[in-house]
Amino acid sequence: MKALVYGGPGKMSVEQKPKPQIKAPTDAIVMVTKTTICGTDLHILKGDLATCPPGRILGHEGVGIIDSIGDNVTTFHVGDRVLISCVSFCGKCYYCRRNMYSHCTTGGWILGNEIDGTQAEFVRIPYADTSLYPIEKGADEEALVMLSDILPTGFECGVLNGRVAPGSNVAIVGSGPVGLAALLTAQFYSPAQLIMIDLDDNRLDVAKKFGATATVNSTDGKAAEAVMKMTGGRGVDTAIEAVGIASTFELCETLIAPGGTIANIGVHGKKVELHLERLWDRNITITTRLVDTASTPMLLEVLRSHRIDPKQLITHRFSFEHILEAYDTFGHAAETKALKVIIEA
């Protein structure tokens, strides 16, 4: 089968790979019909993730059709259409019992990281019963791809951890797909202000359409001043970091109001300064999280009732043969105006 293979920092290629086989009785093999590219895939390509070795098939998002199942898979059958979660989990271990599926002792976020991922014709999904979701007849499969990772990520790591509350002031640094997913799901709680910060005017325009009450282009280095003006000099109650570099986390440290929460979403490959000399007396909370996908069943209900439209995030579509072009387009979002790109079998 054809697959997109990571070749070490800055390198990737489309290669012929053997079709995956069932390894454990709880596995399923899924024929991937639609997948996409995540900001995390770009971090892997930068060499930020030591867990992902060269030779790995990338990708942790997608939908597909069950091709085969192990003997112990009871929920799914060959031919079923399924949503693939970016987190594979056993449901039984210490962390799974605490709903911290991302830290499943034999799973977690392993797809396209510690095991081969979804940017291929077929993928092996461990713990199929708990790591896949059935797709209803007539459901919009493109919209569902947004539920593999970015919607639960924006919601769990940003909105829930950030304690977004009615009437609160929220700033989201990073208006990429994940920041925009946080923007969409923050609106479940009716915050007073939703301020989006990015370097890219196009992404900020999109944020306005998605419900941002204000946008700030931080290119001039004056984002903190702008946000202070909008919040009566207090700063925000929730600052969500959705980029994954030191300067944007440090910006969150300058934006946060006393009593506020900094919710980090970004994957960081480098050291970040923690300014306790400024923050120690401000009663703030800092949270980090790897998405658990514990909110996926809830988000599926929200999607079913058309309360949010994650399909708005899709800007480009490619066939699998053009996946390198898809990476190029996603990696140069400022020029191409790409948000999520769909790659179809």
Residues that bind ligand NAD (CB under 6 A): 38-40, 42-43, 149, 153, 157, 173-179, 197-200, 203, 218, 242-245, 247-248, 265-267, 289-291
Q: Is residue 120 involved in binding Zn ion (CB under 5 A)? A: no
Q: Which stretch binds Zn ion (CB under 5 A): 34-42, 135-143, 297-305, 323-331?
A: 34-42
Q: Please choose which of Zn ion, ligand NAD, none residue 265 contacts, taking the beta carbon within 5 to 8 angstroms, the exact cut-off set by kind.
A: ligand NAD
At residue 29, φ and ψ (nearest 5 deg) are -100, 130
Shortest Å distance, C-beta 271 to ligand NAD: 15
Which of residues 265 and 302 has its CB atom nearest to ligand NAD in the complex?
A: 265
Residues 140-159, one symbol each (x = binds Zn ion by CB under 5 A, - = not), give: ---------x----------
- Compare residues 28 and 197 and give the one whose CB is closer to ligand NAD: 197
Q: Whose CA is closest to 260, among 275, 232, 239?
A: 239
Tell me the sheet residues that pair with 197: 173, 216
Are the CB atoms for 12 and 42 separated by under 8 Å? no
Measured between alpha carbons, how far is 5 from 217 in angstroms, rounded to an integer? 35
Interface residue with Zn ion, options 37, 44, 84, 96 (CB under 5 A): 96
Report if residue 90 touches Zn ion, rule: CB under 5 A.
Answer: yes
Match 């454990």 to its residue by tokens: 24
Q: Which does residue 96 bind out of Zn ion, ligand NAD, none, counting CB within 5 to 8 angstroms by kind?
A: Zn ion
Structure tokens at 272: 């970040």
Q: Can you tell me the distance from the alpha carbon of 132 to that of 148, in angstroms, rounded to the nearest whole number?
A: 9
**Six token digits for residue 285:** 């909370």
What does the alpha-carbon distance between residue 94 and residue 116 come to, in Å, rounded to a whole number?
Answer: 25
The answer to the question of residue 26 lying near Zn ion (CB under 5 A) is no
Closest CB to Zn ion among residues 110, 239:
110
If the CB atoms of residues 37 and 69 are measured against ligand NAD, the closer one turns out to be 37
The CB-of-133 to ligand NAD minimum distance in angstroms stands at 18
Map residue 140 onto helix, strand or coil. Answer: coil
User: Which segments within 79-156 are labelled E, that is strand?
Assistant: 81-84, 122-125, 132-134
Distance, CA of 234 to CA of 111 (rounded, Å): 41
Q: How far is the CB of 24 from ligand NAD (least distance, A)?
A: 25
> What residues are paired with 108 via a beta bridge?
88
In the complex, what is the shortest distance from the CB of residue 78 to ligand NAD, in angstroms, rounded to a whole number? 30
Which residues in this chain contact Zn ion in the complex, by CB under 5 A? 38, 40, 89-90, 93, 96, 104, 149
